Amino acid sequence: EGVGVQEYTAIKLEVKEWAEGAKSKVEGKIPEGGKVYFVPATLRPETMYGQTCCFVGPSIKYGIYEVVQGKEYYFVSERAARNMAFQNIFPEWGVFPKVAELEGSDVIGTLVNAPLSVQKNGIRILPMETVKASKGTGVVTCVPSDSPDDYATIMDLVKKAEYYKIKKEWAEIEILPIIETPTYGNLTAKYLVETMKINSPKDAKQLAEAKDLAYKEGFYKGTMVYGEFTGKSVEEAKPLVRQQLIDSGDAFAYAE
Ligand code: A2H
């Protein structure tokens, strides 16, 4: 990854209903009125309108960490919680109080509210086997219009819903065009995955190439076709959407 600092936007997806497998591990750990958020780290805040689900690594260990006593809790990897504790995200420098421990597989099916997403009834937590424990928060929000990894994972989840023990309709959600690009149209990820004949989310080499193409085309040539900044270039819209999410309390800056 080189020597640079990666400036992520950490998005707060509030839990509305825990999956069965999570209930016993969360029960009694969060006081009445306490809110728990799944916190994906993204480099593409301007795409958040198109969130259709949120991914965790099924065998990754996560914690629920107390950020505001009795009130606000984040579901992230321990590594991310530690980093956040040195970025003034927790009240006490270097301290990240853990109230519960879960595996990704425990939370599959949990219903969360995703800021800006057109899915106003919420989106589901789903498994993504290629999530890296060593990057970001270990939580990845899914935008299948613009992320080839997300698109390939969704196609696989829909195809093998039974194997993944999920409801097909949790994954099979209409894909919203957010960004128009001259070369790939308005569903960049779908276009690239199909034309490059990527058949699996584990097709790492081709997905890395697709990700690179999608990112460059989107950032330098993309125009917003959804939301408040429709008509603006992605380059212009990105910091505006990010600031809006931060100002509304739905996101915060996270670096590593
Ligand atoms: B991005 P970089 Cl629309 N494991 O957000 C695997 N992938 C992870 C991750 C982890 N632990 N943490 C974050 N990511 C994903 C949106 C998006 C993203 C779009 C298009 C491209 C894209 C919606 N998913 O990423 O290695 C997150 O997905 C491709 C650049 O730090 C995050 O941004 O450069 C991105 O990878 C961070 O990747």
What is the full per-residue pLDDT of the chain (256 aa) written as tens digits? Answer: 567 899 999 999 999 999 999 999 999 999 999 999 999 999 999 999 999 999 999 999 999 999 999 999 999 999 999 999 999 999 999 999 999 999 999 999 999 999 999 999 999 999 999 999 999 999 999 999 999 999 999 999 999 999 999 999 999 999 999 999 999 999 999 999 999 999 999 999 999 999 999 999 999 999 999 999 999 999 999 999 999 999 999 999 999 9
Mutate to test the pocket of ligand 1, among 126, 140, 153 (most ligand atoms within 8 A of CB): 140
Lining ligand 1 with CB less than 6 A are: 6, 41-44, 47, 131-132, 135-136, 138, 140-143, 146-147, 150, 211, 215
Instruction: Give residue 2's pLDDT.
Output: 60
Q: Which domains are delineated in the chain?
A: 7-174+249-255 (3.90.740.10)
Ligand 1: atom nearest CA of 211 is 29
Instruction: Give residue 99's pLDDT.
Output: 98
How many CA atoms are closer than 13 Å to the CA of 225, on its beta-carbon side? 16
Ligand 1: atom nearest CA of 1 is 26
Residue nearest to atom 32 of ligand 1 (CA): 42
- Are 37 and 73 in contact by the 8 Å Cβ rule? The answer is yes
The two structure tokens encoding residue 128: 């993504």
> What is the model's pTM?
0.98
Residue 92 CA to ligand 1 center (angstroms) comes to 29
Mutate to test the pocket of ligand 1, among 5, 8, 42, 234 (most ligand atoms within 8 A of CB): 42
Residue 27 CA to ligand 1 center (angstroms) comes to 31
Mutate to test the pocket of ligand 1, among 8, 38, 44, 192 (most ligand atoms within 8 A of CB): 44
Ligand 1: atom nearest CA of 47 is 3
Residue 29 CA to ligand 1 center (angstroms) comes to 30
